[in-house]
């Protein structure tokens, strides 16, 4: 079995033009979670940081309020609380 510290990261060995060897670590990000309940937030890009950075902003996040911070159920209750107060 693989060590827990190596399960998330992909390591690749690279050689620079000067001939020195180096170990490159590509870490994958975890799925984003809701700030209130901890559920997974859908519609938000995750994975390799290079892939996410190359996406446009509209592909990374939804365009609604609190996008990427609250799940749909918590967002509904937050909007209701704002309207009622």
The whole-number pLDDT of residue 43 equals 87
Please check whether residue 29 is in contact with residue 46, taking contact to mean a CB–CB distance below 8 angstroms: yes
At 6 the pLDDT is 67
- Cβ atoms of 30 and 49 within 8 Å: the answer is no
Q: What is the pLDDT of residue 8?
A: 67
Provide the 10 A C-beta neighbour count for residue 70: 21
Say whether pLDDT at 27 is over 80: no
How far from 68 is each of 8, 17, 28, CA to CA, in Å? 22, 41, 17
Quick count: other Cβ atoms within 10 Å of Cβ 77? 12
pLDDT of residue 74: 94
pTM: 0.60
User: Quick one: what percent of the chain has pLDDT higher than 70?
Assistant: 94
Q: How far apart are CA 14 and CA 27, in angstroms?
A: 16
């Amino acid at each position: 079995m693989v060590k827990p510290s190596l399960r998330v990261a992909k390591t690749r060995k690279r050689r620079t033009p000067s001939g020195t060897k180096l170990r490159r670590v590509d870490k994958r990000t975890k799925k984003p979670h809701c700030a209130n309940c901890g559920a997974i937030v859908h519609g938000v890009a995750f994975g390799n940081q290079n892939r996410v950075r190359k996406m446009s902003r509209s592909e990374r996040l939804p365009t609604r309020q609190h996008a990427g911070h609250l799940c749909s159920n918590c967002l509904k209750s937050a909007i209701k609380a704002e309207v009622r107060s």
